Structure 1
Amino acid sequence: MGLSAEQLKAGLDALALTEPAIADAIARIGYPAPRLRERGYATLLRTILGQQVSVQSANAVWRKLDGMLGDASDPVRVAAASDETLRAAGLSRQKAGYAKSLADEVTSGRLPLDALAEDDEEAIAQLVRVKGIGRWSAEVYLLFAEGRPDIWPAGDLAVQIEIGRIFGHDTRPSEKLVRSLAEAWRPHRGALAIFTWHHYGAGPDTAPV
């Protein structure tokens, strides 16, 4: 599971002691709610299903797939399913390939989701070897499902936008700049990432004046 409300508050409070802009942002909109996902295969498969479609569409495909297979969270059943079955559940040809690839990596033991590397970069490398799992998806999985406290998805557009807003940048900072700035925020970058999404959802009126 991801970072708890207590962990988020502790991490953000630690950052607020050295970053007045973060302290001000917390005062404006409060602390974020936890973003919790189950650890394991089902969460990664649902991440693939959710790529480039609405949440409602992804949920509908998941329900149909679950009904057709009996248990879509079982990688053995997905690995054994035909491409036609996966397509009939609503997966595109590409996503059907990704789903089979993920199931194969898990059932073969090449991707040990119960024992990913403790080093964050090594764990990301393990995940992105799976077709359909890019760096962002790997980072979100490690943050939401494993609760790793120092994950920093610097390539996320909302993270870039909100770091710019919180710290008063005239334009959206680049991924490279956001990654560089965040070195000072270790080991609490995961809590700050979740806070940036919270800040993004609060709307433009939350920017400092």
Structure 2
Amino acid sequence: MRRISTPDDIATGLEALCAIDPRLLPVRAVAGNVPLRLSEPGFGSLVSIIVAQQVSRASADAILGRLVKLVDPLTPQAVLDAGEEIFRKAGLSRPKQRTLLAVAQAVRDGLDLDHLCGLDAGEAIGRMTAVSGIGPWTAQCYLLFSAGHPDIFPARDVALQSAVGHALAISPRPAEKALIELAESWAPWRGVAARLFWAYYRETRGRDAAPPIQVT
């Protein structure tokens, strides 16, 4: 399976998407630069995505910035040893505290986040979502940005729903199920399509809503 690992891969994917669906030509024109947004696989990358769950990008950046200063180095054992007061200072909600602890324990017990990047997407997502607190969105974003998976579209993402609805004049904006069906036509480049619509959202809304990544 081809991986999205360079800016040239993004360019190739965008060309293919616009050929598949000409409606994406004006979307590409508005979006401008579509970043690669690739991080090294591992615990830090997954933590950054967990932090981004259900909060704005600005809030996620602030929380992650505090967390990496308070827990340095950001390792599974350090998270397990951190204690509630450090999590509170970082600004993590209790559900996210529980998720981080569950993930740290799973990694310490043998969950290989690097190995997951080489698996079929369905199998990798299944293994990740078996960990308490990790849902499909978190697993999909990890595979997009840490594995460079070319054909994943996190349809649960509200910013993607909003961007697709605005760009393609769909009102009300497509919900998860409708967006999954719509994105099927963009295979096998759905990972690039997600990046395209996050970039479109950035340009039309004036703020970045793509999940932060922790480059290690």
Distance in 2 between the 1:30 and 1:136 partners? 25
What amino acid maps onto 1:132 in structure 2? G
State the partner residue of 1:45.
Answer: 47
What amino acid maps onto 1:178 in structure 2? L
Contact 1:155 1:175 in 2 (8 A): yes
Distance in 2 between the 1:12 and 1:3 partners? 14
Distance in 1 between the 2:15 and 2:87 partners? 47
Alignment deviations for residues 149-205 of structure 1 (CA, whole Å, 9 cap, x no partner): 001101111111222222222321121111111111111000000000000011169
SS of 2:71's partner is helix
Q: 2:58 aligned with 1:57, yes or no?
A: no
Distance 1:2 1:15, change over 3 A: closer
Please list every run of 5 or more consecutive structure 1 residues that lacks an aligned counterpart in the other structure: none
TM-score by length of 1: 0.83
State the partner residue of 1:184.
Answer: 185
Alignment deviations for residues 106-147 of structure 1 (CA, whole Å, 9 cap, x no partner): 1111x2212116211211111112222221111111101110
How many residue pairs get aligned? The number is 198
State the partner residue of 1:112.
Answer: 112
What amino acid maps onto 1:95 in structure 2? K
Alignment deviations for residues 54-96 of structure 1 (CA, whole Å, 9 cap, x no partner): 1113311221122xxxx22x223333x1535644653554433
State the partner residue of 1:128.
Answer: 129
Distance in 2 between the 1:193 and 1:199 partners? 10
Alignment deviations for residues 12-48 of structure 1 (CA, whole Å, 9 cap, x no partner): 1001113111122223343412212221011112333
SS of 2:166's partner is helix
Greater RCO, 1 or 2 (C-alpha within 8 Å, sep 6+): 2
SS of 2:20's partner is coil
Contact 2:125 2:136 in 1 (8 A): yes
Distance in 1 between the 2:21 and 2:112 partners? 38
Distance 1:87 1:194, change over 3 A: closer
What amino acid maps onto 2:66 in structure 1? A
Distance 1:99 1:171, change over 3 A: closer
Distance 1:83 1:5, change over 3 A: same
Distance in 2 between the 1:94 and 1:170 partners? 33
Question: What's the CA shift for 1:6?
Answer: 1.1
Contact 1:65 1:89 in 2 (8 A): no
TM-score by length of 2: 0.81
Larger Rg computed on CA atoms: 1
Please list every run of 5 or more consecutive structure 2 residues that lacks an aligned counterpart in the other structure: 207-216
SS of 1:178's partner is helix
State the partner residue of 2:12.
Answer: 10
